[in-house]
Chain A
Amino acid sequence: MSVSLSYREKTLYASLAAELVVYVPYFFLHQQNSLNKVAGMIVAIIVLEIVLQLAIAAFTRNRVTDERDRLIELRGYRAGYLTLAFFMVAGLGILWLHASVGRIQLDNRMMGLHFLSVFFGMLVLADIAKTAAQIMAYRRAL
């Protein structure tokens, strides 16, 4: 049985597409990241999200959201939080491990940018996990 997508589902697919289009090139295609690229990425995701959400709102007549949407949203946030917590603990563990054997120098000039990339990456993964968990919940009916 085919089930049409609700307004919230369409916005979630659009968000996931925007996240993948912007974040994948940043994290996997560029060897050298910089503050300018981080700023460009943030601007790109904001602009892309606004354009996609406006387009969906314009072409969707029924924009009702209900209690099930809110429940699914909460489940998504839980998945996002757990993902972020996992990567934060893992990241800090790896950092401690490398620092204890002297493989990283915290006074290195590039270290700040490196940390920025790593922590931003964790946020991105958590955000993708949140959106994916919500989409999965919709596809399973909850």
Chain B
Amino acid sequence: MPAIRNQIRELRARLEMTQQDLADRVGVTRQTVIAIEQDKYSPSLETAFKVASALDVQLEQCFQYDPGGKR
């Protein structure tokens, strides 16, 4: 399991938001959203806050840290 996991896909689906919509709101590429959703890329703290804000949730509802996870 990766060290940082996220619920972006589920939260996005709840808001019926596409990956491109989220990318535009956060100011990143759609490929970066895909990489974050697949737990292949851990975003910077600033981007993580922007993602949570765009999804209208608190940071910890969007991202979770697993100390035992691999990175």
Contacts and interface: CB of A to CB of B under 8 A. Distances in A.
Contact of A66 (B29, B34, B38): B29
A89 interface: no
Nearest to B40: A141
A65 B32 CA distance: 10
A142 B31 contact: no
Interface stretch (B10-18, B41-49, B53-61): B41-49
Contacts of A68: 28-29, 31-32, 35, 41, 43
Contact of B27 (A8, A9, A66): A66
Contacts of B38: 141
Given A3-B34, A67-B47, A68-B35, A140 B29 contact: no
- The SS class assigned to the A binding surface is loop
Interface residues of A, number: 18
Task: Give chain B's interface residue range (CB within 8 Å of chain A).
Answer: 10 to 19
Contacts of A9: 31
Nearest to A1: B34
Contact of B35 (A5, A65, A141): A141
A8 B30 CA distance: 12
A53 interface: no
Interface string B1-31: 0000000000000000000000100011111
A71 to B, nearest CB: 8
Contact of B28 (A4, A64, A142): A64
Contacts of B43: 67-68
Interface of A: 3-9, 62, 64-69, 138, 140-142
